[in-house]
Chains A and B, each alone.
Chain A
């Protein structure tokens, strides 16, 4: 009878009463790690996927299969942020024809996500002055923002930043035409 008491107590607390860490494989199939820090510079690194580590006292790790409540929690995670890259014609805020379908995909993704936010960042190639390119990159970002706004997306959910010719997708010297660098990157969360 005495032995049953702790089990009953655990059941009352919903079966997850212990302080614990469950490490899972990464979404891309790789595996990461979490370190249990002792606050004095020491640590115990947990790197075994599908394991459970008790966090009271000395950490102990064992193989583990997630329970339904834990699976429900994992299923409740928001989807991975999506990235879109749209390309522009030289010196303009006009999308290349190839990027039109990608813009449609972006719109669909924005509509699909509840509580959506989109971070829009414009870039240029290295042709022209830094100042001109800063302005052009900002206008490119705003152009994409405007298209989203025209589709009824609340612009309060969006940010647009121009980064000019900093952060080139394809590294080039100054004054070089490079279509791959004339772009807007959008992260949809």
Chain B
């Protein structure tokens, strides 16, 4: 690849950032039955799959999805889960933002990143029965019926 096309790619990557469908994170690994619901579409999960705000991570009996976010937050979504990335905003330069995850069903292990550090309860996790303000750093949330 020549340097001109790299410059073009870089310009594209920068231009794409403020867009509505901006990348907020990536799938690093997925096992078993695991899909991303994006509106009406079902996106298969594979290492490198890009995540967007509003995506819902859904796993089956033996499913697990590992992902990282652009603020360095990390998730492992467990089996029989339904986890929605409901709100996500992050300013890379200032390292501040806000993040709301809905754990509707199942389990998710979390290591929080820059957003949780950037302000009190800037990162929240909601379950059917509770709202959590994340102050750091490693925890598991389980949601039953």
Contacts and interface: CB of A to CB of B under 8 A. Distances in A.
A27 B142 contact: no
A78 B138 contact: no
A77 interface: yes
Contact of B68 (A30, A81, A160): A81
A77 B66 contact: yes
Given A33-B135, A142-B7, A19 B129 contact: yes
A63 interface: no
Contacts of B121: 35, 37
Interface in A1-30: 13-14, 16-27, 30
Contacts of A187: 72
Interface string A105-136: 00000000111110100000000000000000
A35 B140 contact: no
A84 to B, nearest CB: 15
A21 B136 contact: no
Bin the interface of chain A by size. Answer: 35 or more
Contacts of B47: 114-115
Interface string B54-78: 0000000000101110101011101
A189 interface: yes
Nearest to A75: B76
A37 B80 CA distance: 26
B84 interface: no
B10 A159 contact: yes
A94 interface: no
A23 B74 CA distance: 15
A36 B139 CA distance: 13
B13 interface: yes
B127 interface: yes
A146 interface: yes
Contact of A76 (B29, B49, B132, B144): B29
Contacts of B143: 19
Interface in B21-70: 26-29, 46-49, 64, 66-68, 70
Nearest to B139: A23
B134 A55 contact: no
Contact of A78 (B7, B66, B70): B66
Task: Please indicate which of the listed interface residues B1, B46, B142 has the most CB atoms of chain A within 10 Å of its own CB.
Answer: B142
A39 B29 CA distance: 35
B1 A149 contact: yes
Interface of A: 13-14, 16-27, 30, 32-37, 39, 43, 45, 55-56, 59, 66, 69-70, 72-74, 76-78, 80-81, 113-117, 119, 142, 145-146, 149, 155-161, 187, 189
Given A72-B64, A115-B46, 8 more contacts: A21-B130, A24-B139, A32-B136, A70-B107, A73-B109, A77-B109, A115-B49, A119-B70
